[in-house]
Amino acid sequence: PVTIHRGDYRPPEWQIPDIALDFELGIEATRVTAALSVVRAAAAPAPLLLRGDGLTPSAVRVDGAVWNDWRLEGSDLIVDLGDRQAATVEVDAVIDPSANTQLMGLYASNGMLCTQCEAEGFRRIAFHPDRPDVLSRYRVRMAGDKAAFPILLSNGNIIESGEGEGGTHWALWEDPWPKPSYLFALVAGDLVVNRDRFTTMSGRAVELGIWVRAGDLDRTHHAMTALKHSMKWDEEVYGREYDLDRFNIVAVSDFNMGAMENKGLNIFNTRYILADPDTATDADYDGVEGVVAHEYFHNWSGNRVTCRDWFQLSLKEGFTVYRDQSFSAAMGSAPVKRIEDVRVLRAAQFPEDAGPLAHPIRPDSYQEISNFYTATVYNKGAEVIRMMATLLGPERFRKGTDLYFARHDGEAATCEDFVRAMEEGGDIDLSQFRRWYEQAGTPKLHLALAQEGEDWFLDVTQTVPPTPGQDDKAPMMMPLRLAAFAMDGSGAALPDTLATLTDVVQRIPLGRFTARPALSVNRGFSAPVIVDYERAPGELAWLAAHDDDPFARYEALQQLMLDTLVAAVSGEAKGREAVIGAVAQTLTGAADDPAFVAEAVLLPSEAFIGDQMVTVDPDAIRRERLALQAAIGAALEREWRAILAQAAPPATDLTPAAKGRRRLRGVALAYLAASGKGDVPGLAFAIFSNADGMTERQAALATLAHGDSDERAHALDIFYQRYRDNPLVLDKWFQVQAWSQRADTVAAVAELARHADFTLANPNRVRALYGAFAGNQAAFHQADGAGYRLLADLVIALDPRNPQTAARMIPPLGRWKRFDEARQALMKAELERILAQPGLSRDVTEQASKSLM
Ligand code: B3K
Ligand code: ZN
């Protein structure tokens, strides 16, 4: 495979100010004519290079006349235009959407046609340079059978429509805003719409539409509310107004990722649109709100200002994730949102940064760009924006973003452009800060307290670990929020302080304390780093109870639990009483802030415990985590039962307080179940049966799924019968079984893969079963390697059909260095078996070969 390097970027030789696309739609054959008005941009004459993927040109015309001066080079089309400065180049091709199992380009899903172009899917629809720095105005005409495709949508505004011959009809759409090809979209199908309106800050009316299949309309209200809130929020917080007369969203069930921000026509995975209390959990509701906001925010951070090349992906993704995180924080509880975001970062990004696939948020090279839609580019990218926002403060950050949008509107920009706007708008020197774009790996801060008389200091030593291709690292600039407390309450406390780290070793004064102060550090997770600071259980318990920053209270309790679990795994009993005491103390706040309490008392995941160890021992981790869970369950049995004894809030109540109470009930049930009390399966089954919504129902089902009670089988059966026709809910049925802590989970997953409702054609179903399974540490890492084999079998079976989704399943196998020798050998053997498959995709080849290094 060819490696593309960031340093090789060259501006395009041809620009394409206008494009006219003409579609004659059919599920099995769609005829596409693309008319590109090209203008030479380079000084020296160069032929026109148009990328193609799986396309055969049936005719080429230049300025209306048949043209023979073209050739195919691989799958690309080279048109020699002599010394012309401008021309209209027209190419005809026929594509088969029904055969498009990759779900990239134009494809069929349940009888409808839809597109996915980012990153390089447009070339599967029409020959085109297909690079984000070529921006064009699009005019799209589509015609098709009126019965099969009553609804015809594309980007921008509808200009004209009419009837054709033989039961056909047509529509003409025009998007006035120049855009790169990856933002093109088309949808044709039998859809119904939830319509609404939004009036922008300057008083323009925008017509909103959410398009779904008949029968799903009742489940679109939450998405619509989220859309209107997002539009308002972006006006208030960033001064960004929507810029078209319409904004359409279409939901499709076969989709490779969450959603896509096509200009004026977002296309969504149904998972992030459809929600009602009977079928969606509170977490699903939050997912809908967050993704609707994310895609909407892209209209400015991504569409109006786009990326020069794909190495700049974090320019739009990191910034937009930061924007959607801030939005969700404003809609609900900010501390709880921060806890959730940090949990995701630690679960998905830290391991990536510590493994063979580590890359900076602005990568230096790739073989297949689809492999770089990663937690690093997205979530670490968002942390990097957040750090700049913290360093600048809200007002200067807003000046910086205003400058960025004003300066680069209509352009394809770079990460460097963004940083420069922050520097100028915020009047700050970010030279050293730019290392966050260059260096991979999670920085580690080693902390020690020092004392001179009664003056206390914090000594910080920063290291950035080596990562593939980057052996030596320079120190990063980062904001570190901290506070210090006198634990006896007597002396002075150091109030919330923002320190800026720049050096390898740095001393921060804390003030005068008569005794060693309790340190609250990296408050709000001000920098995406690992803090290495040894503290006694008593100090952590004190902070968990008294720190005035809720995130820091959460961190203290998590650290206490983590220390206890890591010690237990290496056979050392320590801290268990302190953990139980701190959980009990935290639970006293349950009535005031149940959502926070639920997050705080949750034990760290098995994977995160493993991340703290030199060699991960999945079985010991499972055992010790269950043991601690059982001990907390038994010691606080009265408290858990009291939480469950109160009536659950009605499922239709989606206020943060109601969601928090349901979350805490789920946590209480899990603790009680771990304690092994005989009545728990009955209790869980009662909750399952009486639940008036999916949050309670799924929590009870997941708890039952860990055990082997009769109630388990019964509940799974009821759930299946009730929801077998609802694909999104059926995904949950697969998922809870793949999550199970039972010893036979590998065999159960293998069995489920043969279930009549399992299919490789639907990425949601694949992720529900195998994605959940790969995250079930003890099951996936079963000592005989059966879990590895199962995942590798999936990758091999899925790759010919959908390489993008197949490649996403590989990283768990790439973590082999973290495990014992026997497991290492088994994991590597599976990666090698994948690589030995003939005809492997570029996507899987890159991920599997890098994972072996
Ligand atoms: N920009 C898309 C992701 C496209 C992924 C292509 N492999 C969704 C998003 O981040 O909003
Ligand atoms: Zn995005």
Three-state helix/strand/coil letters over 267-288: EEEHHHCCCCCCCCCHHHHHHH
Check if 370 has its Cβ closer than 6 Å to any atom of ligand 1.
Answer: yes
Q: Ligand 1 pocket: which of 103, 317, 372 to mutate (most atoms <8 Å of CB)?
A: 317
Please compute the mean of the pLDDT values over residues 24-34 and round it to a whole number: 98
Domain membership flag for residue 626 = no
* CATH code for the domain in which residue 434 is found: 1.10.390.10
Backbone region of residue 453 per phi and psi (left: phi > 0; alpha: psi in -120 to 50; beta: other values): left
Check if 120 has its Cβ closer than 6 Å to any atom of ligand 1.
Answer: no
Q: Which of 400, 415, 438 is the last residue of a domain?
A: 438
Check if 294 has its Cβ closer than 6 Å to any atom of ligand 1.
Answer: yes
Residues of the domain holding 745 = 724-853
Backbone region of residue 133 per phi and psi (left: phi > 0; alpha: psi in -120 to 50; beta: other values): alpha
pLDDT at 45 over 90: no
Q: Which atom of ligand 1 is nearest to the CA of 291?
A: 11
Domain membership flag for residue 44 = yes
Going from the C-alpha of 480 to that of each of 294, 462, 494, 611, 773, the distances in angstroms are 27, 12, 14, 23, 36
Please compute the mean of the pLDDT values over residues 810-837 and round it to a whole number: 98
Nearest ligand to the C-alpha atom of residue 183: 1
Q: Which of 407, 438, 469 is the last residue of a domain?
A: 438
Query: Do 232 and 119 share a domain, yes or no?
Result: yes
Ligand 1 atom 8 nearest Cα: 260
Check if 317 has its Cβ closer than 6 Å to any atom of ligand 1.
Answer: yes
Distance CA 232, CA 201 (A): 8
Check if 257 has its Cβ closer than 6 Å to any atom of ligand 1.
Answer: yes
Q: Which atom of ligand 1 is nearest to the CA of 370?
A: 7
* CATH code for the domain in which residue 786 is found: 1.25.50.10
pLDDT in tens, 385-412: 999 999 999 999 999 999 999 999 999 9
pLDDT band at 604 (very low <50, low <70, confident <90, very high): very high
How many whole angstroms from 244 Cα to the centroid of ligand 2? 20
Query: Do 275 and 329 share a domain, yes or no?
Result: no
Domain membership flag for residue 253 = yes
The pLDDT assigned to 497 comes to 97
Check if 260 has its Cβ closer than 6 Å to any atom of ligand 1.
Answer: yes
Query: Do 274 and 411 share a domain, yes or no?
Result: no
Query: Do 377 and 244 share a domain, yes or no?
Result: no
CB atoms within 10 A of CB 167: 11
pLDDT at 491 over 80: no
Nearest ligand to the C-alpha atom of residue 119: 1
Residues annotated as catalytic (active site), given as ranges: 295
Distance CA 314, CA 404 (A): 15
> How long is the chain?
853
Nearest ligand to the C-alpha atom of residue 104: 1
Among 511, 498, 378, 385, which Cα is nearest to 457's? 511
Instruction: List strand residue ranges (DSSP E) for 96-204, in order.
Output: 105-109, 112-116, 136-145, 151-154, 157-163, 168-179, 186-189, 192-199
How many whole angstroms from 402 Cα to the centroid of ligand 2? 20
Query: Do 156 and 8 share a domain, yes or no?
Result: yes
Check if 324 has its Cβ closer than 6 Å to any atom of ligand 1.
Answer: no
Q: Which atom of ligand 1 is nearest to the CA of 258?
A: 8
Ligand 1 atom 1 nearest Cα: 260
| 39 neighbors 15 (Cβ within 8 angstroms) | yes
Query: Do 275 and 376 share a domain, yes or no?
Result: no
How many whole angstroms from 316 Cα to the centroid of ligand 2? 7
Check if 185 has its Cβ closer than 6 Å to any atom of ligand 1.
Answer: no
Q: At what angle do helices 727-738 and 710-723 cross, to 10 degrees?
A: 160
The pLDDT assigned to 534 comes to 95
Q: What percent of the chain has pLDDT over 70?
A: 100
Query: Do 44 and 130 share a domain, yes or no?
Result: yes
Query: Do 200 and 242 share a domain, yes or no?
Result: yes
Please compute the mean of the pLDDT values over residues 343-355 and round it to a whole number: 98
Phi and psi, residue 571, nearest 5°: 80, 20
Per the listing, tokens 């009821």 go with 718
Ligand 1 atom 4 nearest Cα: 118
Number of domains present in the structure of the chain: 3
Ligand 1 atom 10 nearest Cα: 317
Nearest ligand to the C-alpha atom of residue 262: 1
Q: Which of 438, 456, 478 is the last residue of a domain?
A: 438
Q: Which atom of ligand 1 is nearest to the CA of 298?
A: 11
Query: Do 166 and 237 share a domain, yes or no?
Result: yes
Distance CA 597, CA 576 (A): 19
pLDDT in tens, 712-736: 999 999 999 999 999 999 999 999 9
pLDDT band at 458 (very low <50, low <70, confident <90, very high): very high
How many whole angstroms from 485 Cα to the centroid of ligand 1? 44
Check if 827 has its Cβ closer than 6 Å to any atom of ligand 1.
Answer: no
Nearest ligand to the C-alpha atom of residue 804: 1
Domain membership flag for residue 93 = yes
pLDDT at 248 over 80: yes
Ligand 1 atom 2 nearest Cα: 260
Burial of residue 465 (CB within 10 Å: 0-12, 13-18, 19+) is middle
* CATH code for the domain in which residue 252 is found: 2.60.40.1730
Ligand 1 atom 5 nearest Cα: 118
pLDDT band at 305 (very low <50, low <70, confident <90, very high): very high
Please compute the mean of the pLDDT values over residues 435-442 and round it to a whole number: 98
How many whole angstroms from 252 Cα to the centroid of ligand 1? 15
Nearest ligand to the C-alpha atom of residue 258: 1
How many whole angstroms from 512 Cα to the centroid of ligand 1? 51
How many whole angstroms from 544 Cα to the centroid of ligand 1? 38
Check if 143 has its Cβ closer than 6 Å to any atom of ligand 1.
Answer: no
pLDDT band at 44 (very low <50, low <70, confident <90, very high): confident
The pLDDT assigned to 327 comes to 99
Domain membership flag for residue 613 = no
How many whole angstroms from 118 Cα to the centroid of ligand 1? 6
How many whole angstroms from 11 Cα to the centroid of ligand 2? 24
Nearest ligand to the C-alpha atom of residue 185: 1
What interface predicted TM-score (ipTM) does this complex get?
A: 0.99
pLDDT in tens, 497-507: 999 999 999 99
Check if 295 has its Cβ closer than 6 Å to any atom of ligand 1.
Answer: yes
Please compute the mean of the pLDDT values over residues 815-833 and round it to a whole number: 98
Q: Which atom of ligand 1 is nearest to the CA of 118?
A: 6
Query: Do 216 and 365 share a domain, yes or no?
Result: no
Ligand 1 atom 6 nearest Cα: 118
Check if 262 has its Cβ closer than 6 Å to any atom of ligand 1.
Answer: no
Q: Ligand 1 pocket: which of 124, 249, 252, 257 to mutate (most atoms <8 Å of CB)?
A: 257
Q: Which atom of ligand 1 is nearest to the CA of 119?
A: 6
pLDDT in tens, 560-590: 999 999 999 999 999 999 999 999 999 999 9
The pLDDT assigned to 492 comes to 74
Domain membership flag for residue 734 = yes
How many whole angstroms from 21 Cα to the centroid of ligand 2? 26
Instruction: List the strands of the sheet with 455-463, edge to edge.
Output: 505-512, 455-463, 444-452, 530-532
End-to-end, the C-alpha distance of the chain in Å comes to 16
Domain membership flag for residue 562 = no
Domain membership flag for residue 569 = no
Among 708, 706, 686, which Cα is nearest to 697's? 686
Ligand 1 atom 3 nearest Cα: 260
How many whole angstroms from 371 Cα to the centroid of ligand 2? 15
Check if 261 has its Cβ closer than 6 Å to any atom of ligand 1.
Answer: yes
Two tokens, residue 553: 């209270």
Backbone region of residue 166 per phi and psi (left: phi > 0; alpha: psi in -120 to 50; beta: other values): left
Query: Do 271 and 319 share a domain, yes or no?
Result: no
Please compute the mean of the pLDDT values over residues 683-697 and round it to a whole number: 98
Distance CA 659, CA 651 (A): 9
pLDDT band at 43 (very low <50, low <70, confident <90, very high): confident
Mind giving me the DSSP string for 703-753? HHHTS--HHHHHHHHHHHHHHTT-HHHHHHHHHHHHT--STTHHHHHHHHT
Q: Which atom of ligand 1 is nearest to the CA of 295?
A: 11
Check if 316 has its Cβ closer than 6 Å to any atom of ligand 1.
Answer: no
pLDDT in tens, 312-343: 999 999 999 999 999 999 999 999 999 999 99
How many whole angstroms from 259 Cα to the centroid of ligand 1? 7
Query: Do 314 and 187 share a domain, yes or no?
Result: no
Check if 130 has its Cβ closer than 6 Å to any atom of ligand 1.
Answer: no
Q: Which atom of ligand 1 is nearest to the CA of 261?
A: 11
Please compute the mean of the pLDDT values over residues 11-31 and round it to a whole number: 98
